[in-house]
Each structure stands twice: as C-alpha cells, then as structure tokens.
Amino acid sequence: MNNNFLLLMPEFLVTGLAFLVLTADFFLRGDRKNFLPYLAVLGLIGALTFTLIDQWDRVDHLYEGLILIDGYALFFKAFFLVLGVIVVLSSVEYVKRNLDNPGEYYGILIFTIVGMMLMAASGELLTAYISLELLSFGLYVLVSFDRYSAKSNEAGTKYILLGAFSSALMLYGISQIYGLLGTTRFDGIAEALSATPDVSPGVLVGLVLIIAGLGFKVASVPFHMWAPDAYEGAPIPVTAYLAVGSKAAAFALVLRFFVEALMPAVGDWQMIIVIMAALTMTVGNLVALAQSNLKRLLAYSSIGHVGYLLMGVAALAAVGDDGRIQLQLSHLASNGLMLHLVAYGVTNMAVFLGIAVVYNATGKDDIANLAGLSRRAPFLSAVMAVSFFSLAGLPIFAGFISKFYLFNAVALQGLLWLAGLAIFTSLISLYYYLNVVRQIYIEDAPDPTPISMPKLTVGVMGVLFLAIIFLGVYPAPLMEAIQHASDALMSSESPIGLSQALR
C-alpha cells in the first residue's frame, strides 16, 4: 500500500489558498480587502498551472482506488479552476457593492472548488458523497450570503432543506448498495453487477435512490423545485456558480459513476434516465415561457439544459435492434456531454455577468429592466444577445456545435426520437430567449443614461464573448482535450481497470 499523497497536491494547494484568503481577510482593513479576489485569482491560476504540469498524462490512484488520478479528472479539475477564476473575477464588482465579508465569500467559494475537484476524481461512493457535501455546504452558505435580503435567506433555507433531504436519499441508496453488493467502489460495483444477469430489486431501489439524490443536485425534473427559488434569491455571481459549477461537478460525478460502476446494469437504468431527460427538457423549457424574472427564466432554461445533458448519460450505451443491450460505450455521448457542459458554462457565465452589471446599475433583475439596454450599453447588449443565441443553439456560437454534437450522439444510439424532442424543446427555448433579446434591442429604455462598466468587467466579458464565438467556429482544440478525457474514462487502462468487469 503505497499512498503517494503528492497526488493530492492540487487539492491541497486550493485548500491552502482558501485558508490563505480567510487569514488575509483578518489582516486587511477597509479598502485593502479589495485585494482579496486578486489573491484568489492568482492562487487559482497557480494551482491550475501546477495541476496541468503535474498531472498531465498521469494515471494513478490513491487509497486503493478511492481517488483516481486520470485524464478525465484532470479535464474537470482544469475546467473547475478556470471556472473559479471567472466566477471570482465576475464577483469583484458585485461583492464590493452588495455584500459584506468578502474574505469569507471568496474563501468559501474556493473550498467549494476543492469539493468539485474531488467529485471528478472520486472512484468510490462515500468519497463522492463527502466531496459533494463539501461543495453543497459551501453553496448553502453562498446562496444565503446576502444576509439582509429576505429572498436570499429564503433561497438559502429552501436549498438547505431540500439539499439535506436529497443527501439523505442518496446516503440511503449508498447503504443499500453496500449492503447488497458488499462494496462502494465503482469497479467493485461493476463487477458485482455483471456477476449476475439480473439485478436484484434491493439493488435497484438503491440505484433509484442514488439517481434521485443526484437528480436533486443537478435539478432535473421531478427534483427541480428548489432551483428557481434558489437561483432567484442567491447573489447573482453565486447563481451563475450554482448554474454552471455545481451542475458541471455533479455531471462529472454522474458520468464517471454511470460509466465505471453502473454500465453492466445499463438495461435497468437507461429507461429511467431517458424519461427523466425527456421530462426535464420539456418541463424546463415550457415553464420558462411564463417567467418574468430573468434569474428564474435562466433557472428554468438551465433545467432544460440539464435535460439535454441527461440525454448524454442515457446515450452512453446502446440498446440493440433485437432489444438486447449492446455494451458499446459511446465516446461520442460522453464527448458531447462534456462539450455541452463547457459551452453552456461559458455562455451562462457571460449571461449572468451581464445581469450582474444591469443589477448593479438598476438594482433590479426582471426581464423588463433590460428594456432599451442596447442604447445604454451597446457592448454589454451584444454580449448578452450573443449568449442568448448561443443558449438557443444558433450558429456561429458555442451552443450550436455542442447541441449538434450531443444530439447527434444521442441519435446514433438509436434514440432519434429523443434527439428530435430535444431539438423541438430547443425551438421553444428560442421563443423566450428572443423575448429577452427583444427587450434589449427593440424596446425603448425608460431611463436612457449609459451604463458604465468597470474595465475588469469589460475584460472578462470580452474574453467570454470571444470564447463563445471561438468554440462555435473552431471547437477542434477543445474537442481534443475532451476526447482525451473520454478515452481516460472509458479505456481499459483506467486506474482501477473498469473494463475487466465488462468483458
């Protein structure tokens, strides 16, 4: 048993950074606290550089496979660290104006990044659970961070109650699995599942409970009720983080769990996921039509996107023409899922940053408050319009290629009808996105004073804007990285060797 703790160095570094930010907060007074986010950003960039250099092409594991170090985990760690940088940078202005205690805000934010990084690296259910809780506890605090706002408090309460409930479900499911299969390790579960042709009802109950628990975390129908309230009440950068980060982390875990542990039982869960996906995208996009608050609209829109991502999970393995299950792992589906996560993430960060700017200027975040924005802030309007078009899946933006790729992967697995439904719901989404664009460009502003943006915000926005277009026009470089991650996830050389179980 040789545990090389240096393998956890990226997590140690980020944790250290969180403590550093918290400590620095004690010693900085007044305006000097504005320095904290830059410290956080520098630290995150440092950790990112270290992670990339240290773990490039490294395949290893810790604690007998509780934590896996591979290309897949690396991809997500890098993604989360970059995301962390963007979230911190887009928080600067908002936190300065609206929130107390910046030190705690950034410190807790960085702790949640550690949780996300560990989620992508977990090779075992309890480790995954603890990482998930590390993320969730941080988010509970962040959601209710605006402590003088009743809405923020309400959002926090709802989020905690339902989050705790879903954690309980998941824990119960894990105990069920452990009781019946005798292990919580992903490869062990896969082995046990493939040992018998039929999955026992008890295991199935455990599975369903875990799926329900994870369903809560990603806000998929019918476990989505908390999302709109939490999104609406949370401080805007936290909403962005909730919409992008926590979702990406949950999907990083889901993808690994389903591929490495549950694949032998694909026939038992595929239909559940298909139905959840179909419901999620339909309900999310339909209910979004009726929203007047921008954050609630985006909450439902993100529920719709979760539906698309779930399709990717459902399409991981194909069911053959004769009704038998073909154990063909689809790289395309996992590629598509990751690509859509990235595209959706970049786009949503741009949208929420835009909303934060409008909120800072007007103090409101209803769709109607965007009226005439194009005359008040042309650049901001262009970025937001581009983001909404990207979310609706129109070219030349990131959302088009990611939807095309993902839907195509789904169609290839014999689920053409589901892909068709997805395209149709994405047409519905176009309607409500266009209504927002209409406010921005067509309606007249009641108050035509220009909105000024700090240089930092303009810079972040410009980078996101270029990223949305770059990904839409030339996704090949990102795709290569994603392909690498997929290969790591699905290859027989994965650290603990999932594929023996399949053969």
Partner 1 sequence: MDNFDSYALFLLVVIPMAGAVVVMLIPGALKQQIRWVSSAFALSALLVSFYVFWAYDHEAGGFQFQRTWDWLAMPGTGPLSDKAITLTLGIDGIAAPMILLTGIVMLTGVLISWKIADRNKEFFVLYQLLLSGVFGVFVSLDLFFFFFFYELAVLPMYLLIGVWGSSSEFPTFSRAKEYGAMKLMIFLVAGSVLIWIVVMAIFVESGIGSFNLLELQNVTFSDNFQRVFFPFLMVGFGVLAGLWPFHTWSPDGHVAAPTAVSMVHAGVLMKLGAFGIIRVGILLMPEGAQDWMPVLIGLGTVNVLYGAWSALGQTDLKYVIGYSSVSHMGYVLMGIATLNSLGVTGAVLQMLSHGLMTALFFAVVGVVYDKTHTRDINVLEGLSKRMGFTAVLFAIAGFASLGLPGLSGFVAELLVFLGLFQTYPILGVLGIIGAAITAVYILRLMAKVFFGPLGERWQDETDASGLERFSTLILAGFILLVGLFPFPFIRVINTGVLEILQKFPEAG
Min CB(188)–partner 1 separation in Å? 28
Give the residue with the Cβ less far from partner 1, 233 or 336.
Answer: 336
Among 276, 483, 496, 498, binds partner 1 (CB under 8 A): 483
CB atoms < 10 A from the CB of 322, how many? 7
Which regions of 392-466 does DSSP assign to beta strands (E)? Answer: none
Phi, psi of 142 (to 5 degrees): -65, -40
Site string for partner 1, 402-431 (x = CB under 8 A): --xx-xx--xx---x--xx--xx--x--xx
Give the residue with the Cβ less far from partner 1, 179 or 420.
Answer: 420
Binding to partner 1 in span 127-156, by CB under 8 A: none
Residue the block writes with tokens 């959302």: 399
Give the residue with the Cβ less far from partner 1, 190 or 339.
Answer: 339
Question: By CB under 8 A, is residue 434 in contact with partner 1?
Answer: yes
How far is residue 352 from each of residues 36, 241, 493, measured CA to CA in Å? 22, 9, 40
Residue 293 bridge partners (DSSP): 366
Short-list 56, 340, 72, CA closest to 186: 72
Question: By CB under 8 A, is residue 85 in contact with partner 1?
Answer: no
Site string for partner 1, 321-360 (x = CB under 8 A): ---------xxx--x-------------------------
Residue the block writes with tokens 């108050």: 447
If 0-12 CB within 10 Å is exposed, 13-18 middle and 19+ buried, where does residue 226 land? buried
User: Residue 174 is encoded by which pair of tokens?
Assistant: 């894990």
Residue the block writes with tokens 């209910």: 287
* Rounded-to-integer distance, Cα 390 and Cα 392, Å: 5
Q: CB of 295 within 8 A of CB of 239?
A: yes
Give the residue with the Cβ less far from partner 1, 101 or 435.
Answer: 435
Min CB(408)–partner 1 separation in Å? 5
Binding to partner 1 in span 447-476, by CB under 8 A: 474-476
Give the residue with the Cβ less far from partner 1, 246 or 335.
Answer: 335
Min CB(124)–partner 1 separation in Å? 29
Q: CB of 177 within 8 A of CB of 206?
A: yes
Contacts of 240 (CB under 8 A, 6+ apart): 87, 90, 348, 349, 351, 352, 353, 356
* Rounded-to-integer distance, Cα 197 and Cα 203, Å: 13
* Rounded-to-integer distance, Cα 411 and Cα 474, Å: 23
**Widest distance between CA atoms in the chain:** 70
Helices (H) and strands (E) in the chain, counts: 21, 4
Min CB(484)–partner 1 separation in Å? 11
Give the residue with the Cβ less far from partner 1, 63 or 404.
Answer: 404
Min CB(480)–partner 1 separation in Å? 9
Site string for partner 1, 193-232 (x = CB under 8 A): ----------------------------------------
| Helix or strand (DSSP H, E) at 363 | none
Give the residue with the Cβ less far from partner 1, 342 or 356.
Answer: 342
Of 228-236, 244-252, 283-291, 437-445, which part binds partner 1 (CB under 8 A)?
A: 437-445
Min CB(354)–partner 1 separation in Å? 17
User: Residue 202 is encoded by which pair of tokens?
Assistant: 């008890």
Size of the site for partner 1 (CB under 8 A): 37
Question: By CB under 8 A, is residue 19 in contact with partner 1?
Answer: no
Min CB(360)–partner 1 separation in Å? 24
Of 40-48, 215-223, 396-404, 449-457, which part binds partner 1 (CB under 8 A)?
A: 396-404
Min CB(347)–partner 1 separation in Å? 15
Positions in the binding site for partner 1 (CB under 8 A): 330-332, 335, 374, 378, 385, 389, 394-396, 400-401, 404-405, 407-408, 411-412, 416, 419-420, 423-424, 427, 430-431, 434, 437-438, 441-442, 474-476, 479, 483
